[in-house]
Every structure is written in C-alpha cells, then in structure tokens.
Structure 1
Amino acid sequence: MARAPVQDGRDPYRHLYLPFIRVEQFHGKARSILPRDVYGYFSSGATDEKSLKENQEAFGRLLLRWRCLRGVANVDLSTTVQGTSVSSPICVAPTAMQRTAHPDGEVAMGKSCAYSNTLMTLSTWATSSIEEVSDKAGGTSPRWFQLYVLKDRRITQRLVERAEKSGYKAIVLTIDLPRTGIRYADKRSGFKLPSHLVLANFLGLEEFATENDKRFATLSDFADSLFDISISWENLDWLKSITKLPIIAKGVMNAEDANEALRRGVSGIWVSNHGARQLDSTAATIEVLPEVVHAVNDRVEVYVDGGVRNGGDVLKALALGARAVFVGRPALWGLACNGEAGVSQVLELLNKELELSMALCGCPSVLDVPESIVVPAARYRSTL
C-alpha cells in the first residue's frame, strides 16, 4: 500500500502498535477503557438497534466468489476520490467529539490519515476546529468537511467559508438529520460534552455557549435546538451558491433521493443511515447500495459507510459499486485505544485484509472489481 513518505523510511507508529490482529479487538478494549456514557454515545443506535445489527449482519449474507489464476502478483489499492489520489478506498467517516475518546481527538485522526495517505472527514461537532486539524494534521492527503444546515444560515455559511479557506476538498452535507433519532443509551446516561471540552468550530459564538446549560437534558436536545427542521432540497441550491467546493450528499438510502440530489447538482452520493443512529428498522447500507448505484449510473461517485469491520466487507462494497468505503466506529475505537498509532493500526489491518481478499478473488486493482465476485449466501444455501 502506497503511503506518504516518512523521513527515515520507517513506520513512526510501529513500535506503538498493540498486539491486536483484528479490528474487533480495538472495539473490546475501547469498551473497557471509555467512560460508560461516552462509549454508549459512540456505540449505540436508534431505539431497538435493529438496524445497527443489520448494518454488520447484512455483509454476512453476501459471499465472495473465489477466483483463481488471475495474475495477482501486484495488488493495487490506490484510487481517487473526487479526482484526488489516495492510497486506498478505505477512508474515515465523520464522528463527533473525538476528544471524548482520546485527548488528541481529531488532530490525531487527521495525522494518521495523512500518514496513511487516505481521506478524513471532519465533523461539524468536532472538538478540534477546522483550522486546527488543517494546521496540525499536515500531509497532502485530502480532508472533507461534514456540514449540518443550522437555523442560523450565517453560521452555516461561515463554516463552509472556513473549510474552503483551510484547504478542505469537499463539503459533505448530511441530509438525514433534521432531528436526532431516539438513542436510549444517551437518555439513560444523560450524555453531555464534558465541561473541559468545547465544540471547537463554534468557539466565540454566543449561540453555542449554552451546551451545558441545564435546560438541555442531553446533547441531542442541544442539537435539536440548532438544526433546521425545515431543511429541504432547495437548501442544496443555496449551498451551491456559496461555495466552489464539490458537495457530497450524505444520508442517501434510496434511488429517489439519489436522483433528486443529482438533479440539484451534487458531486457525489454517500449511502449512509448515520451509523443506524437515526431511524431504526431501515435497511442495511450494503443492501441499499446496489439500488443507489443503479440509479446514479456512473454520473457521480458513490460512497458507503455502515457496518464495515474487515477488508472483505470493503471488497463487497467495491464490487457493488462503491468508489470508496468510509469507516467510522473502527477508526474511533483505534483512536480511543492508542491515539494516532491506534488509528494507523486499524487502517493497516483493514488494508491488509482488503489486499488479501482482492488477491484471492482475482482482483489486481480496486478500480476494476467486478460485481460478479459477490453473490447472496441464499443462492448457495438454496441448493443444499
């Protein structure tokens, strides 16, 4: 896997790696070390968490078809996203308030992504600012900024302008969160941003000074007070009018919304159910992906997140038409366990698994992964 150059040619994280061989081991350790309310915030899904389980289990209902003698002496993971080169299609999704997981938070996440030469997406609800991540993370790998449309359009516009000025390569508009879903773990714990941390992108803005005010029972209540519940497709037109950056629509889960987003001129479609944290009993993202890819019909790139836990999952998503696959919780567990080194190790494990899976399926390049290597498990079980 191609990586950003290191001055002495050695992996600066290698001596810090944990003795883990699977991504799930990072999850187990993170569960044991994070405060209960913080772990609950990051790990939980909406209501009964059926879709949270489905996001992962749906990958198990897809099988990879082993292909032989395909000339895989060299397996190339490199690709492009929105025209920018990255070392791998495995990219990092936005997750909020990363300094609750590790003191270095989003800066550490950004440094690891820069070292691995892959894409990081910074959350609106970050505990490190747009500028801080840009200045401290370094590297030439791309960064995107995830955006919520707030009631105060002036604040929303300022966020976009700051991201553009700081060198972010795209605006990822989250379209699936006019209001936050019901998350029982947060209701039980009353999760709030700890008093020693801030939502760094809003420092100095009086409108955001009340996050820990008693009138907000949870962070969800605070968010609901700020989000614009009236958001509609017309807001995409407004967003396009204030930025030259490509706009990615994140939260698309059907062909109808994909087509509407394309009609509004987006540059990419991101299949996501918000980590199954919004509406329960929705389909798994990997199951929705083919419908969206078919609707898009190569007009723009399609991305997906949700439930990815190993390199084989990534390969399945690529075969079904994803240009890039975004991981949220796995990168966050790596961060919680071991900061920069933890994120780097998680990305390395996933990429090694992806490379091997590609070799065994006869795929020498991520740019040419045929849909035929993925089949429903039921196809084989029905013949037994």
Structure 2
Amino acid sequence: MTKVELTGVEVAKHKSADDCWVIVHGRAYDVTDFLPEHPGGSKIILKYAGKDATEEFDPIHPPDTLEKYLPKDKHKGPVDMSTVVVEKQEVLPEEQERMKRIEEMPLLEQCYNLLDFEGVAKRVMKKTAWGYYSSAADDEITLRENQTAFQRIWFRPKILVNVEKVDFSTTMLGTKVDIPFYVTATALGKLGHVEGEVVLTRASARHNVVQMIPTLASCSFDEIMDAADASQVQWLQLYVNKDRAITKRIVEHAEKRGCKGLFITVDAPQLGRREKDMRLKFTDEGSNVQKGSGEKTDNSQGAARAISSFIDPGLCWDDIPWFRSVTKMPIVLKGVQRVEDVLRAVEVGCAGVVLSNHGGRQLDFARSGIEVLAETMPVLKKMGLEKKIEVYVDGGVRRATDIIKALCLGAKGVGIGRPFLYAMSAYGQEGVERAMQLLKDEMEMNMRLIGARTIEELNEGMVDARGLFSHGVGPVNFLAERVYDPLVGPPQRERSKL
C-alpha cells in the first residue's frame, strides 16, 4: 500500500526539542531521539525543525545516513513538497560579493599549475568550506613545512640521455597506473562541490589514477564505487571505529565491492585543533555524544570534530593481526612518521606505509613525509627490506618535480589531496581533470630534463637532499605565499549601541 504524502503543514507541527521532524530529500524523519547524540549538536537540527533541511544536510552527510542509522519507525514518509513553505533566504552582502567573484573567475585555461586552483578556490568558496579545507593544526607550521621541505631538495640531472620517449607509468599495490600519484582521502567533498567525491572518481578514471575513498566522505561509499568505471581501482581509507563490529562490516563490504587496498589511518587518535575551521563552524550548544560522566563537550572544535567522534583512540599494533584476519586486501598504515614504525609495519606484515602527517592537520611540528622518506629508505636498503614494503608519501605535493623527488628518494608513489579539492571547488570535474593533466605535462617535461626515461631510472643519485634535514629557510615560493591564508586572532567586538 502506497504511503500517503504528508503535507508541509503537518510536518511543521513537529518543531520542538520534544517533537522534532525534518525533511530531507522530500521525506520526513522524526529525529527527536537523535538530538542529544548528534555530533554537531542539537541546535543545528532544531534550526530546521519542521522544515526542509536538505541544503544543510547534504554537504556533511552521505545520502544513505538516515536510511542506515535512523530506525525505520522514525521514517515518516514522503512529503508533498509543493505544500512546504519555502523560506526566503536573505542574501548577505558577503555572499553577494562571493557571487560576483564567481562571475569574474579566470578561465579554466588560465590555470597553469595546482596553486592557481588554490588561489581561485580561496576567492570563490564559501568561508566555512574554505576554512575546513585549508585549515591545519595550531600555528600551521607543519602545513607550510610540507611544501617548503620539497624546496630544500635539488636535482642532479643527467645529460645526453635519449629521452625522446618517456614512460612514467608504474604500479602501486599491483595496479598499473599512468602516473605515480593517487587521489588521497579527503573528507566532506560536497562542501566544495554539490556532487562531492564522485567528481574525483570520474576524473581519476579519465586519467587512470587510483582514488582513495575517505571514511568521512559526503557521498556514500557505494555511491562512489558505483560512479567508477568497471576497470577502475579504488582503495579504502579507514578511520577505525570503537565498535569493531562496525569496522569489520565496513572492511568486508569494501572488499566485496572490489576495493584493492585498505589504508588504516594511524595518526588520528584525537583530532588536531584546526583554528580556521573552529572559528567558522559549530558554535552551538554541543551534544552528549561520547561524553563521559560529568564531561562537558567542547562545542567550538569545528567540522572535523563534529564528524569524527567515533574514532577509536585505543587503536594499537595489537589490532593489526585482527585486520589481517578479516580481509585479504593489502593493508597499508597511513600516517607513519618515523623509521622505527616503518620497520615494525614490515614485521607485522603490512603491504605498505604512507609517510604522512595528515596534511599538517594533526600534530604541529611533525616532520614532512618527504623528510621521513629520506631517513627511512637508507635504513630499509641497509637491512635488505626495501622490497618487502611499498612506501608512499603525502603532504605538500604541488608539482611534478615534487613527485620526481619523492620517487628518487625511494617512494613508490605520492598522495595528493587538497589541490584536487580546490580544482573541484572552483571548476568541477573539468578542473580536476585539468589539474591532473598539468601534472602529467610537468612530469613528461621534467623526466626529460632530469635525464630519466622511466620511473625505474629515477634514483637517489639524481637529487641533492643534504639540506632537507636542516629545517632552514629555502627559496621563497611566491605562488604559495600568495595563496596561503594566514591565521588571524579573534575579531574585535563592536561596542553596544547606547
């Protein structure tokens, strides 16, 4: 029997903390019992009580969230949207100015490098979205170090090599790719683009690169997998849930759907303080989720904290054998930051590690992945272990020269995250595809200029990394300086009018 459509008037009656319904994608849901548990706090839901909350819901929730986590008796049925009162939203002067900047955006063809996309995105993204994507931990020292570390490595090019034909294809975890980078996992894709992570999926397919699917995507896992080409390879990035039954279900489903790698994030037992994000988001009263007895929720921690309270701080080395027992996917530890832990990853049978500091978003003053790589590979080679594990790097990669430097120092490939988010936010799928093509063009040119015809010919003798460990000031990167958004203090309050 078909359920009779509800009217907007009926839904609008349920608008209190004791009786709260919301409309999402034309269907009504009773979220009263969920109010105390909502990671973003109850106030943000109550703002839309009895109303259509779709616009607020979409950027930070996968579309199947309510179907998965809200009991079926709370699904109140379809709503006749023609009867729902559409509230006229006041367009603030700030938003009007942003829309003007969108109209004045440079042509896509005028973006010649990845930092160009960042500069455009900074001007046209909503402040809250920019704050989430661009923010990093504390003083953002590590965020900037990730890029400047590459600038302390210099090339030692070979000459008179026949480089008419250059091939920079390679394999990563057994997958043949056209260029040695992958789209690393980044959360909340719909903050930047209405279609979210599927934009990155389609662009990755066009360029034959691997996409790592994030746990905290705006799109559902299955939505991202369904958007992939039949032959496309995807990996799963995993934040480990305190409830291991949930974790097991996620891993088994990913393997069943065809994921070819499990990347366990190991550098986030607690989310770092990201002050740009904190100043712009979630200033409501907070929620009871994950509270201990008598514990008060810090409700000013930004979008990252609001969506990640489930992550298990108790994850440890003892868990790795369990992961190996529940999946045949190769296991890679994402967020390794010292050579001793790389050696232990070899011991416990991991297929790979990602040398990463979470894009500078966790521990400030963590060293760059490229520096840890330069420390790690000589040790692995001395011990004869360099073939036992695949080593990847992410953080700060903005040029193909950065990719080449990492490969010369022994990396199997690099992960790139923010630049593709910025390209997507500004120009959609075409922007991401152009960003990837720019990297391919740079790769071909710089492989020729360094004197290497294949990835296998890149080696540590082609770089001078002696200055890498000094942490001194390298050359000024004017592009990076132009797009960097400096941290600011709290705004001055206006004096009350008498």
Which residue does 1:4 correspond to in 2? none
Which residue does 2:173 correspond to in 1? 82
Q: Secondary structure at the match of 1:251?
A: strand
Map 1:106-145 onto structure 2 (within 5 A).
Answer: 106-145=197-236
Cα separation, partners in 2 of 1:248 and 1:378, compared to 1, 3 Å: closer
- 1:305 and 2:394 matched: yes
Which residue does 1:63 correspond to in 2? 154
Shift of 1:224: 5.2
Q: Which structure 1 segments of 5+ residues have no match?
A: 1-15, 193-206, 209-213
Counterpart Cα distance in 2 of 1:318 and 1:119: 17
Once the two structures are superposed, residues 7-44 of structure 1 have per-residue CA deviations (whole angstroms, 9 ceiling, x without a partner) of xxxxxxxxx95321111110011111111121111111
Shift of 1:251: 0.5
Q: Secondary structure at the match of 1:151?
A: coil
Give the aligned residue type for 2:333: A
Which residue does 1:24 correspond to in 2? 115
**TM-score, structure 2 length as denominator?**
0.67
Larger Rg: 2
Give the aligned residue type for 1:112: A
Shift of 1:85: 0.6
Which residue does 2:416 correspond to in 1? 327
Which residue does 1:364 correspond to in 2? 453
Count, aligned residues: 346
- 1:317 and 2:401 matched: no
Give the aligned residue type for 1:232: C
Q: Identity over aligned residues, as a percent? A: 39
- 1:232 and 2:316 matched: yes
Counterpart Cα distance in 1 of 2:200 and 2:436: 11
Cα separation, partners in 2 of 1:324 and 1:378, compared to 1, 3 Å: closer
Pick aligned residue for 2:427 from 298, 313, 338: 338
Once the two structures are superposed, residues 152-183 of structure 1 have per-residue CA deviations (whole angstroms, 9 ceiling, x without a partner) of 11111111112111111011000000110111
Asked if structure 2 preserves the Cα contact closer than 8 Å seen for 1:37 and 1:191, the reply is: no
- 1:177 and 2:268 matched: yes
Which has the higher mean CA deviation after the structures are superposed, 74-83 or 135-144? Answer: 135-144
Which residue does 2:367 correspond to in 1? 283
Give the alignment's Cα RMSD to 1 decimal.
2.1
Q: Which structure 2 segments of 5+ residues have no match?
A: 1-106, 284-288, 291-296, 381-385, 473-498
- 1:293 and 2:382 matched: no
Give the aligned residue type for 1:104: E
Pick aligned residue for 1:156 from 243, 247, 266: 247
Shift of 1:268: 0.8
Give the aligned residue type for 1:109: L
Q: Secondary structure at the match of 1:282?
A: coil
**TM-score, structure 1 length as denominator?**
0.86
Counterpart Cα distance in 2 of 1:119 and 1:139: 13
Asked if structure 2 preserves the Cα contact closer than 8 Å seen for 1:111 and 1:139, the reply is: no
- 1:267 and 2:354 matched: no
Q: Secondary structure at the match of 2:227?
A: helix
Asked if structure 2 preserves the Cα contact closer than 8 Å seen for 1:174 and 1:249, the reply is: yes
Runs of 4+ in 1 over 4 A off after TM superposition: 214-217
Counterpart Cα distance in 1 of 2:330 and 2:181: 20
Give the aligned residue type for 1:334: A
Cα separation, partners in 2 of 1:153 and 1:366, compared to 1, 3 Å: same
Give the aligned residue type for 2:355: V
Cα separation, partners in 2 of 1:215 and 1:155, compared to 1, 3 Å: farther
Report which structure shows greater RCO (CA 8 Å, sep ≥6).
1
Shift of 1:67: 1.9
Shift of 1:288: 1.0
Counterpart Cα distance in 1 of 2:317 and 2:423: 36
